[in-house]
Amino acid sequence: MSGKPKSGKSGGLRSGTAGGSKVTTKVVAKPGAMARRTPAGLVPNMDPIPMDRLADGSLAPKGYTMRPVVAAKNYDVVSFARAMNDDFAPRVKKLFDPERKAAVEAQRTGVYIGWRLPGQKFDCQRVSDTSLCFCGHLLGEHAQYNGRSVRVPCAQTGCKCKAFQWIPSRPEDVGEFWHQRRRNFDPTTWRAKCRCKHSHEQHDCTGMKACRAKGCSCSAFNSNFLCAACDKHWEEHETFFETEAMRVKEGLPTGEAYLPFAEMPNLRNAVLTGDESDDSAYLALTGGQGHIPISDRPHGNDAVFSPGGGNSRFRPVYD
């Protein structure tokens, strides 16, 4: 009778050949004998590592010291961004070019236009003639203004806007940088939106700015975005027209201090020229060779205010 060898708990059968004949021997294991296993990661027969308990209760090999890992108090995001982007300076210039224009224009005319929270000691956004109003028209398409203007109405025919109110015109203005990475993104189509999902152009530009979209019950514009500078909503901000003297009295920056990143020379140069090491534009602005003269443009402090739009009932109020 043939069959497979059977094995038991105490041993087993081992088959082989000797002199042409099949031989079967029985292998018996020693009682209590077990294969010795070495824990993963340890050297066989290695002695236990002596450990010390540290002051914080954690264990460490004897003789070793440990330094606590503490988060940096000031995260150097600029150095990180510079290391990650070979074209860092040109990108900074592109991002802040609208504010650069506004700062240079303010130095030329003496008229400072800023968008910020009331009582705040810095501007969230510097505003120029090419800045967009809630009504959909540029500041340059509004009535003439000066540093003491309180409200600057729109001068475009049919527009009911009674006062210029800056509104973001680029996704970068509200920190939404991912739009630029989309393959078919057209920046000219982007509009700041309300929580009702309709753009500012679909809302009234006066009063509470109710939505005009069909079927929408929104009674006031409430931004679905936050300010990139202060993390507050658009409707919490105001647009201010000021003279240099007014800003000095309020403790707000003027002159060269009004430039973006005025306190950080490398970034300031990047904004002005696209090159962190090129300070030629800064020297020109601050009175060096080829400095920019004061302009006599009609919207300076001494200009006569003209509300524009013959049928407008707007009447300026002065301090």
| pLDDT for the residue numbered 180 | 77
Q: How far is C-alpha 191 from the chain's CA centre?
A: 18
Gap between the Cα atoms of 272 and 275, Å rounded = 8
Identity of the residue numbered 265: P
| pLDDT for the residue numbered 147 | 92
| pLDDT for the residue numbered 285 | 84
Q: Give pLDDT < 50 ranges for the chain.
A: 7-10, 289-290, 292-319
Closest CA to 192 of 235, 154, 163, 143: 235
| pLDDT for the residue numbered 191 | 94
| pLDDT for the residue numbered 80 | 67
| pLDDT for the residue numbered 52 | 84
Gap between the Cα atoms of 190 and 157, Å rounded = 24
187, 177 contact by CB (below 8 A): no
Q: pLDDT tens, 68-106?
A: 777 666 666 677 677 777 888 898 999 999 999 999 999
166, 127 contact by CB (below 8 A): yes
| pLDDT for the residue numbered 22 | 57
Supply 49's token pair: 């590592």
Q: What is the pTM of this model?
A: 0.66
| pLDDT for the residue numbered 318 | 38
